[in-house]
Amino acid sequence: MTKLRLGYIGLGRMGKPMAINLLKAGYPLIVYNRSHGKVQELVNLGALAATSPKQVAAESDVVFTNLPDTPDVLAVALGKDGIIEGAHEGLICIDNSTIKPSASREIYAALKPLGMSCLDAPVSGGDIGAQQGTLAIMVGGDADALEKVMPILQVIGKTITHVGGPGSGQVAKAANQIMVAAQMVAMGELLIFAQKAGANPRKVVEAIKGGAAQCWTLDVKPQRLFAGNREPGFRSALQAKDLNIIMETAREYGLSLPSVALDNQLYAALCAMDLGELDNSGIISIIETLNNEALRIDEE
């Protein structure tokens, strides 16, 4: 059976390993990225290079986008030389970016009349999940379109959930980021609290991981922090961007999210300190500054 022709637009920290996994699975792949060096890496692995998103769409059965923010996705999907100009009957567009739900619905409404199907399919799992093909993928859009591309998504993700109609995948990702930010801030606070109050934070983490506080964040992040490693991972600047999306969406619906509002301010402060390139667990830097207490990295 002939495999569907795939296109991938956006070869960043997440997009590049995801595109590589699609290539490894034997799918014909055409790629586009503003930075040509990353395109060449994929070409060296067997992909074709495109000169525009329009060309990617025109030469694909399924086109993925994975871009930094809402304006980037809108421009690539609906702008000059964008996907809309290469649209054709049956083309399926899958957006792996994290953007505003309202933007996903706008793209769906613009491309659906052209015979296209659009799925908003943001991911969670970080760069390791992208490399290993174990991402969680939250999908909004038409169920029949998802059914057609499910074997493709199973190459890049381990858990694929159809949340609902257009924009629902982005709503789920926003909810995910509410929890992630809260956990990162809470972890930073508990580590500094434990240390300043005279307990070994390593031992505290071991003690509480076996109870109600157990979570992925405590399973993975403290060990990196104790080793002095605050490299991403998932960049704090992107966490800040996602929190902005959540707050903008909350205002659209008249919602009050006080905890998110505080986390949003903390990540904004981290970025203002030129620390946005740190892992999102690097929010501990703000907690350290507020308490004049640096997490010790030499404890055993």
In angstroms, the CA 120 to CA 105 distance is 9
Q: For residues 240 and 268, is the Cβ–Cβ distance under 8 A?
A: yes
Q: For residues 295 and 193, is the Cβ–Cβ distance under 8 A?
A: no
In terms of Cα–Cα distance, which of 94, 117, 113, 77 is closest to 27? 94
Residue type (1 letter), 264? N
Q: Which residues contact 282 (CB under 8 A, 6 or more apart)?
A: 230, 236, 270, 275
Q: How big is the chain, counted in residues?
A: 300
Q: Is 24 a catalytic residue?
A: no
Tokens of 194: 């434990």
In terms of Cα–Cα distance, which of 193, 13, 4 is closest to 94? 4
Q: Which of 16, 100, 173, 241 is catalytic?
A: 173
Q: Which helix (H) or strand (E) holds 94?
A: strand 92-95
Please name every residue paired with 123 in a beta bridge, in sequence order, or none if there are none. 137
Largest distance between two CA atoms of the chain: 65
Residue 137 CA to chain centroid, in angstroms? 10
Residues with a known catalytic role: 173
